[in-house]
Amino acid sequence: MKKKRRRHEEPDNADRWVVSYADFITLLFAFFTTMYAISHVDLGKLRQFTGSMKVAFKAPGHSPTDPLVLDGIKPVSYADIGLEQDVRSELKKFDVIEGVVVSRDARGVIISVGDSLLFDVGSADLKQAARPLLATVSALIRKTRRQIIIEGHTDNLPPGRSRYQSNLELSTSRAASVFSALREENSDLVDRFAAAGYGEYRPVTSNSSPEGRMRNRRVDIIFVTEKTGA
C-alpha cells in the first residue's frame, strides 16, 4: 500500500495583521477628512451651485432664465463674449484694428479709438480718414439691439491752442462729433444713442508718460450689456 504523504503546512505570517491595520487606518482617515469637508460647506452657495447644474442639464426645478450669481463672483455674459468676438472679426476684416482697442467690462463691449485716428490735435472735427472706421462700427450697431454710449476722454494736459477752454469741453465735443457720424448711418436708431464727455477724469492708465497720455486720449463706443429680465 502507498503511504499517504503529509501535506506541508505553511507557517502563519505573524505580521499579517499589519495589512489589515493599515487598511483600517486609511479608511478612518478618509472618513474624518470627508466629515471635515462637509462641516465647512457653505450651504447657500451649494444650493446655488446645484441650481446652476440643473440649468446646465435642463433639469426641472429651476428656470434657465433666472440669473445665478455667487457672492463675490461677477456673472459672465456670454452674449458679450460673442459680441466681442464679432467686433474683433469685423475690425480685422476692414483693416481698421490698428489704433483701436476692443475690451469688455461690467458695462458691456467697448471699442476704444485713439484720438489721432479721429481728430487733429485740439480739434473735434472728424478726419475724413475716420469715416471707414465709423462705417464699420455703424454696421455692427445695426446688428444689435443694444444701447450705445459714446464717451469722449482726454489726458490731463490743457487743450493749448484750441477753441476749447477745457478738456471737458473738448471731450464732450468729440463725443458729439462721433455721435453725429454714427447717427447719419443709423437715423432710425437714434433713440438708442447717448453721448458724454469726461475730460481727464476717467483715465485708463497714468498720465505720467507720453504713452499713457496717448492711451487716455480716446473715444469709447460702448455696446451696453442687456440686463436680464429688463
Same domain, 21 and 94: no
Q: Averaged over 11-24, what is the pLDDT?
A: 71
Same domain, 148 and 211: yes
Same domain, 184 and 131: yes
> Residue 181 phi/psi, 5° resolution?
-65, -40
Ranked by mean pLDDT, the top range of 88-97, 185-194, 204-213, 220-229 is: 204-213
- In this prediction the pTM is 0.67
Q: Averaged over 206-215, what is the pLDDT?
A: 95
Q: Averaged over 82-98, what is the pLDDT?
A: 81
Residue 196 lies in a domain: yes
Residue 12 lies in a domain: no
Same domain, 148 and 180: yes
Angle between helices 131-142 and 167-185 (to 10 degrees): 60
Give per-residue pLDDT as tens, 168-182.
999 999 999 999 999
Q: Is 193 left (phi over 0), alpha (psi -120 to 50) or beta?
A: beta
pLDDT confidence band for 5 (50 / 70 / 90):
low
Same domain, 48 and 140: no
Residue 98, pLDDT above cutoff 80: no
Residue 4 lies in a domain: no
Residue 2 lies in a domain: no
Q: Cell digits for 65?
A: 432664465
Same domain, 47 and 116: no
Residue 109 lies in a domain: yes
Give per-residue pLDDT as tens, 116-164.
999 999 999 999 989 989 999 999 999 999 999 999 999 999 988 889 9
- List, edge to edge, every strand of the sheet that includes 148-153: 100-105, 108-114, 218-224, 148-153, 193-197
According to the model, what pLDDT value does residue 64 have? 47
Exposed/middle/buried for 167, CB within 10 Å: 0-12, 13-18, 19+?
Answer: buried
Report the domain count for the chain: 2
Same domain, 109 and 157: yes
Same domain, 29 and 99: no
Whole domain around residue 173: which residue ranges?
A: 78-224
Residue 220 lies in a domain: yes
Same domain, 180 and 213: yes
Q: Averaged over 55-76, what is the pLDDT?
A: 53
Q: Locate the DSSP E strands across the chain.
A: 100-105, 108-114, 148-153, 193-197, 218-224
Residue 27 lies in a domain: yes
Q: What is the CATH number of the domain that holds 220?
A: 3.30.1330.60
Same domain, 31 and 111: no
Q: Averaged over 103-109, what is the pLDDT?
A: 93
Residue 175 lies in a domain: yes
Q: Which residues, at least 6 apart from 2, have a Cβ–Cβ distance to it below 8 Å?
A: none
Same domain, 33 and 100: no
Same domain, 84 and 155: yes
Residue 89, pLDDT above cutoff 80: yes
Cα 88 from Cα 107, distance rounded (Å): 18
Q: Cell digits for 99?
A: 489704433
